[in-house]
Amino acid sequence: MKNEHWIQGDLTCESPLFRRSFQIDKPINSAYLEICGLGFFHVYVNGTRVNTEEMIPAFTNYTSIFGHHTTYPVFEERAEFRTGYLTYDLTPYLTQGENVLGVHLGNGWYHQTRRTAEGDFVFGFPKLHYELTITQQNGSQILLESDDKTLWTESEIIENNLFYGETHDLRRRKADWSAPNASLDGWRPANKSDAPKTQLMKQDCPTDQIVRTIDPTLIFQSDDRRIYDCGENITGWVDAVCDAAYGQKVRIRYSENLSPDKTALDFRSTGGEEQIQADQYICAETPVSVRPQFCWHGFRYFELTGPAIPKKVSVFHTAIPVTSSFSCSNPVLNWLYDAYIRTQLNNIHGCIPSDCPHRERLGYTGDGQITAEAAMMMLDPTQTKRMYEKWMQDILDSRGAVTGHIPHTAPFMGGGGGPGGWGGAIFIVPMAYYQVYGDNTLLKICYPHILKWLDYMESHSEDHLVVREEDGGWCLGDWCPPPSMNPPDIPPAFVNTYYYIKGMRCALKASHLLGIEAPEWLPARLSAVEKSWVAHYFDPQTGSFCNGLCGADAFALDIGLGTAQTRSNLIRKYKDIGCLDTGIFGTPILIETLFREGEATLAYDLLTRRTDASFAHMMESGATTLWETWSGDASHDHPMFGAVAKLLFTEILGIRQTKDSAGYTQYDIAPADIAALSWAKGHMTTCHGTIQVEWKRDSEGHMQVHFDDIPSLDK
């Protein structure tokens, strides 16, 4: 598809309609449409909508951000720019005689004008490019391209914004606008538009779709203001019917929480009063079915005011099936599984694992890398592979073209973080991809960029400790520890250098797996960094790193550093305090290290015990998705603390991949023996087959484990 012949409406219309009428006089063999509409588009032929996907094309690094204001400082160009296009077979929709191709555009990420907390990322007004190739039975072809023979007009959508919602004036709705013989009053030739400076690439990843619907429950009413409960935190929207109340307004507002008396919405967790998700409709003379067309919302509750009734709630995200199950005798672990699955799915849109589906909606690399292995294990392997392939391309496209810096969001749209926990996505995601799927494709693609990132980390170090990122930017270590530990007494340089060490070890392993000779400097640098890290943070008298605070000893043990005393200190400390004091990176490192060190009961206790910083606290507070913070004072739909959910499968069910010198080669079943658990069962679907495990204790308390044939993992 050529990156030329783009068209648009005018420079005031945020959601134009386009219409191209054409004649077919002879029988046809085929008709294929290649199309890209920025930001998002819908396709119609002869009055019928052709595509079931929503919010397409998937969000990518469209073009340069140089010249844009960004909150996080940007000193170099991104590496690549690409934009997806899609292909549709229109053959079944065309007839002899007049035909009409219709396209409806919305702003999407391309023309996002209102939320500027991370910066100003307006790339232009909505624009369209298409090529329709019709092959007739006599072998001749008809080629139609986006040009001034395409007409445009304003739609009823007078405002649409990903973060704030949409406003529709239903009095302006044009009936049958994409059908033959429709009225052409108000239509005019499309305007030529400059082509975006990008690579047009065929989109090859799962698309966003409506995956199910919910019947909401009315829980409060005062006059014409009604509040409904969906029963769970979701992403999607309300489908409603506006009455025949010409000129009257309907407003639907969305939130995750209610006021204490449950008579009003509480917007604090989704962006506050200054960023409310809301859809508004101005009624027409006849009843009209309505829904937002080019945005989604993250919510559990909604408030409807005005002459309309909600018909259903559509749940919407990238269409990736859940191909796992888990249950056991502990309700907290059951809640953790369900909440993680729901949270992760709510945060996959455009094949981007986001931080939250409302306030920011960005592909934060820290959140995405820490949950990658859990998502790969629990969701459909075929679709999840394609999702992470797409997101890794976003990461590679977002990297600094000169320095190899991996930014905090991909596609890059600003945002804060740190060079290790966020930038480490460059090696953590492809290694998880290899470990779960037995496929080294991403490692092979990312290997040179991992080495470049390692050089970036060294260039931002002092005495081999990573102490800074970009001037004027953030350099976080761990993130969102319990309020009593915020900021954590664990230095950012400690955490970032941990990821630096882990990245070098990954590069050495990857070179072995790929049959590539590692750079000569790598082993020596690894040794130097490890020695410096130990010298700065390890106390030989106590045997602990950073006084054992915030899981610091677990960080060390995870990369094979520390002593027997470090291990003893770690275990004694968490038996004594009986609670978590860790953030998004320290929590999974701590729990997994305890399991690995043979302390399954202690790991289980920390996962299930009710404290102020616990999953049990979230569950007992009525949460259906994971919180951004242990206290619950921010987003209630953040997947990052859900990284530990993978341990439900690797430890509680005991589905483990055993290693040989070449890597992961086969599955074994060895559940952890935790006396407090009386039974557990579940399954996960791998690229090689389904693994089903069930165990329970007999009358003497011994574990009786049952499982089906275990698929082999080929190298």
Percentage of the chain modeled with pLDDT above 70: 98
Q: Is the pLDDT of residue 246 over 50?
A: yes
Question: Quick one: pLDDT at residue 484?
Answer: 86
Q: Is the pLDDT of residue 690 over 50?
A: yes
SS3 content of the chain, % helix, strand, coil (to 5): 30, 30, 40
* Helix (H), strand (E) at residue 141: strand 141-145
Band of residue 631 on the pLDDT scale cut at 50, 70, 90:
very high
Q: Is the pLDDT of residue 630 over 70?
A: yes
Mean pLDDT lowest for which of 12-21, 333-342, 482-491, 540-549? 482-491
Cα–chain center distance at 702: 41
- Span 543-565, mean pLDDT? 97
**Whole-angstrom distance, CA of residue 129 vs CA of residue 447:** 35
Band of residue 714 on the pLDDT scale cut at 50, 70, 90:
low
691: tokens are 């693994």
Question: Quick one: pLDDT at residue 450?
Answer: 98
Q: Is the pLDDT of residue 473 over 50?
A: yes
Q: Is the pLDDT of residue 175 over 80?
A: yes
Mean pLDDT lowest for which of 134-138, 320-324, 482-486? 482-486
SS3 464: coil
SS (H, E, C) 273-339: CCCCEEEEEECCCCCEEECCCCCCEEEEEEEEECCEEEEEEEEEEECCCECEEEEECCHHHHHHHHH
**Whole-angstrom distance, CA of residue 614 vs CA of residue 611:** 5
Residues of the chain with CATH 1.50.10.10: 324-697
* Helix (H), strand (E) at residue 132: strand 127-136
Inter-residue contact 346 to 635 (CB < 8 Å): no
- The pLDDT tens digits of the residues spanning 23-56 come to 999 999 999 999 999 999 999 999 999 999 999 9
Question: Quick one: pLDDT at residue 715?
Answer: 46
- The pLDDT tens digits of the residues spanning 57-68 come to 999 999 998 888
More confident residue, 150 or 489: 150
Using CB atoms within 10 Å of the CB of residue 71, give its burial: 0 to 12 exposed, 13 to 18 middle, 19+ buried: middle
Residues of the chain with CATH 2.60.120.260: 6-205, 210-318
- The pLDDT tens digits of the residues spanning 286-316 come to 999 999 999 999 999 999 999 999 999 999 9
Question: Quick one: pLDDT at residue 476?
Answer: 95
Residue 221 one-letter amino acid = Q
- The pLDDT tens digits of the residues spanning 513-528 come to 999 999 999 999 999 9
Taking the CB of residue 668, how many other CB atoms lie within 10 A of it? 10
- Span 681-686, mean pLDDT? 96
Question: Quick one: pLDDT at residue 660?
Answer: 59
- Span 655-671, mean pLDDT? 76
CATH architecture of the domain 210-318 equals Sandwich (2.60)
For 15, 44, 168, 173, 239, the CA distances from 284, given in Å and listed in that order, are: 19, 23, 11, 9, 17
Q: Output phi, psi for 228, to 5 deg.
A: -120, 150
CATH architecture of the domain 6-205 equals Sandwich (2.60)
SS3 528: helix
**Whole-angstrom distance, CA of residue 678 vs CA of residue 264:** 43
Residue 629 one-letter amino acid = T
Band of residue 443 on the pLDDT scale cut at 50, 70, 90:
very high
75: tokens are 């000193």
- The pLDDT tens digits of the residues spanning 63-117 come to 998 888 899 888 899 999 999 999 999 999 999 999 999 999 999 999 999 999 9
Phi-psi region of 236 (alpha: psi -120 to 50; beta: other; left: phi over 0): left
Average pLDDT, the chain: 96
- Span 669-697, mean pLDDT? 96
Question: Quick one: pLDDT at residue 99?
Answer: 97
Mean pLDDT lowest for which of 14-18, 452-456, 470-474? 470-474
Q: Is the pLDDT of residue 662 over 70?
A: no
Taking the CB of residue 577, how many other CB atoms lie within 10 A of it? 11
Question: Quick one: pLDDT at residue 658?
Answer: 77
Q: Is the pLDDT of residue 661 over 60?
A: no
Taking the CB of residue 293, how many other CB atoms lie within 10 A of it? 21
CATH domain 324-697 topology: Glycosyltransferase (1.50.10)
**Whole-angstrom distance, CA of residue 414 vs CA of residue 22:** 44
- Span 272-294, mean pLDDT? 98
